[in-house]
């Protein structure tokens, strides 16, 4: 079994609703900040004092409680290395609740762990007892995602805390890549902060729209963050990304605008899906998982023919018949709904 990151289509044109990117482009202030980067800023190794202070203020965290990473992907990688580096005679194990973001299994596999997959339960709920039953003496790492990708569902706070508390020898990585859209986070939660084995990952890729610059953050107990910090390369964030994070955090107007666009987009898509009687899961993120059944492939291809790219999840046995649609800027969602209408109703 190989666990490679699924190669996703890289369309040269059209509307990209397949990778949960920010469909609006980053804030204009962020672009201005990048333009203001000087020749010396580019020539010198970056300094992170300002960006660390900005993150500390925004997330209300002491600097020893987080590390900045080159995208949350790097946060996942350094967590995996940290958890799996001191391996004994037995092959260590990493638990992935599936369906899940590909990176968890691919990095754990690359670092030499055995992947233990636990399928989501009924209606894609995280099966807490099954997860805990999968924990063994060899388990080093447990990946949780809330809101989950691709379901968009939140894991109840009590469930996350229960899993982390029940397995103190396991590093629990809570991926909150979409927490901005949910308005719910365990960053800053007193009980979560007291658990030395709980790490929480955030990214500036989605709500802030700087996926192209690569910027993320991992927060946790200072002891655990110190272990992670030994693995993160000292200049992991480039000068443009550092400038973009600082400015992006300051531009609340853009952030609030985008979150409102996503909320409205989801409401419009839900309404259309109900009209077409396509089952879906109400999402706390910036995408919606839809059960299209045996029409999945035709829908994905029909939309692609109209220049709209969505994610086909139907071939994954843990999300059979499902497609995932990014809900970003309202105009983009409206265009997608119009195209879906044509494909589903055979019009046009």
Ligand X SMILES: *Cc1c(COP(=O)(O)O)cnc(C)c1O
- Cβ proximity to ligand X: between 72 and 272 the closer is 72
- Cβ proximity to ligand X: between 66 and 272 the closer is 66
Residue given tokens 């055979």 in the structure block: 346
Distance of closest approach, residue 262 Cβ to ligand X, in angstroms: 14
Q: How far apart are CA 315 and CA 213, in angstroms?
A: 31
**Contact yes or no for 82/111 (Cβ under 8 A):** no
- Cβ proximity to ligand X: between 20 and 333 the closer is 20
Tokens of 3: 């666990």
Nearest Cα neighbor of 135 from 116, 155, 157, 120 is 116
Distance of closest approach, residue 336 Cβ to ligand X, in angstroms: 19
**Contact yes or no for 326/21 (Cβ under 8 A):** yes
Using the 8-state DSSP alphabet, how is residue 8 labeled? Answer: P
Distance of closest approach, residue 258 Cβ to ligand X, in angstroms: 15
Distance of closest approach, residue 145 Cβ to ligand X, in angstroms: 5
- Cβ proximity to ligand X: between 4 and 91 the closer is 4
Distance of closest approach, residue 24 Cβ to ligand X, in angstroms: 16
Q: How far apart are CA 254 and CA 204, in angstroms?
A: 13
Distance of closest approach, residue 154 Cβ to ligand X, in angstroms: 13
- Cβ proximity to ligand X: between 73 and 312 the closer is 73
- Cβ proximity to ligand X: between 254 and 287 the closer is 287
Residues 6+ apart with CB under 8 A from 188: 59, 60, 61
Instruction: Give, for 303, the enclosing helix (H) or strand (E).
Output: helix 296-305
**Contact yes or no for 150/142 (Cβ under 8 A):** no
Distance of closest approach, residue 277 Cβ to ligand X, in angstroms: 28
Distance of closest approach, residue 199 Cβ to ligand X, in angstroms: 13
Nearest Cα neighbor of 285 from 101, 73, 107 is 101
- Cβ proximity to ligand X: between 20 and 261 the closer is 20
Q: How far apart are CA 91 and CA 24, in angstroms?
A: 44
Dihedral Cα 158, 187, 249, 74, nearest 10 deg: -100
Distance of closest approach, residue 74 Cβ to ligand X, in angstroms: 7
- Cβ proximity to ligand X: between 203 and 224 the closer is 203
Nearest Cα neighbor of 179 from 259, 121, 122, 273 is 259
- Cβ proximity to ligand X: between 285 and 300 the closer is 285
Using the 8-state DSSP alphabet, how is residue 138 labeled? Answer: T
Phi, psi (degrees; rounded to nearest 5) at 276: -85, 0
Tokens of 296: 């999945």
By CB under 6 A, name the binding residues for ligand X. 20, 71-73, 101, 145, 149, 175, 177, 203, 205, 211, 216
**Contact yes or no for 95/139 (Cβ under 8 A):** yes
> Which residue's CB comes closest to ligand X?
71
Q: How far apart are CA 274 and CA 36, in angstroms?
A: 47
**Neighbouring C-beta atoms of residue 223, cutoff 10 Å:** 10
């Amino acid at each position: 079994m190989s666990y490679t990151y699924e190669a996703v289509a890289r369309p040269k044109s059209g509307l990209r609703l397949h990778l949960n990117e920010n469909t609006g482009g980053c804030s204009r202030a962020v672009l201005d900040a990048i333009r203001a980067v000087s020749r010396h800023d580019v020539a010198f190794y970056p300094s992170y004092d300002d960006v660390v202070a900005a993150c500390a203020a925004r997330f209300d965290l002491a600097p020893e409680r987080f590390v900045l990473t080159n995208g949350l992907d790097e946060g996942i990688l350094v967590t995996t290395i940290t958890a799996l580096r001191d391996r004994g005679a037995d092959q260590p194990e990493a638990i992935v609740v599936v369906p899940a973001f590909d990176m968890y299994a691919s990095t754990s596999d690359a670092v030499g762990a055995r992947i233990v997959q636990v399928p989501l339960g009924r209606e894609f709920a995280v099966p807490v007892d099954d997860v805990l039953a999968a924990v063994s003496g060899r388990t080093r790492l447990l990946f949780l995602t809330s809101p989950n990708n691709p379901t968009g569902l939140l894991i109840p706070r009590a469930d996350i805390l229960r899993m982390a508390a029940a397995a103190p020898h396991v590093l629990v990585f809570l991926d909150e890549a979409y927490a901005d859209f949910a308005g719910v986070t365990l960053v800053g939660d007193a009980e979560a902060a007291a658990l030395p084995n709980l790490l929480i990952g955030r990214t500036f890729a989605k709500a802030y729209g700087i996926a192209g610059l690569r910027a993320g953050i991992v927060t946790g107990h200072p002891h655990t963050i110190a272990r992670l910090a030994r693995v993160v390369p000292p200049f992991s964030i480039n000068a443009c990304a550092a400038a973009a994070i600082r400015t992006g955090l300051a531009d609340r107007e853009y952030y609030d605008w985008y979150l409102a666009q996503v909320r409205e987009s989801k409401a419009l898509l839900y309404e259309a899906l109900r009209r077409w009687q396509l089952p879906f899961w109400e999402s706390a993120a910036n995408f919606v998982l839809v059960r299209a059944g045996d029409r999945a492939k035709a829908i994905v291809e029909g939309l692609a023919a109209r220049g709209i790219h969505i994610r086909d999840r139907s071939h994954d046995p843990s999300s059979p018949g499902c497609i995932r649609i990014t809900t970003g800027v309202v105009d983009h969602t409206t265009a997608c709904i119009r195209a879906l209408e044509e494909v589903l109703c055979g019009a046009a």
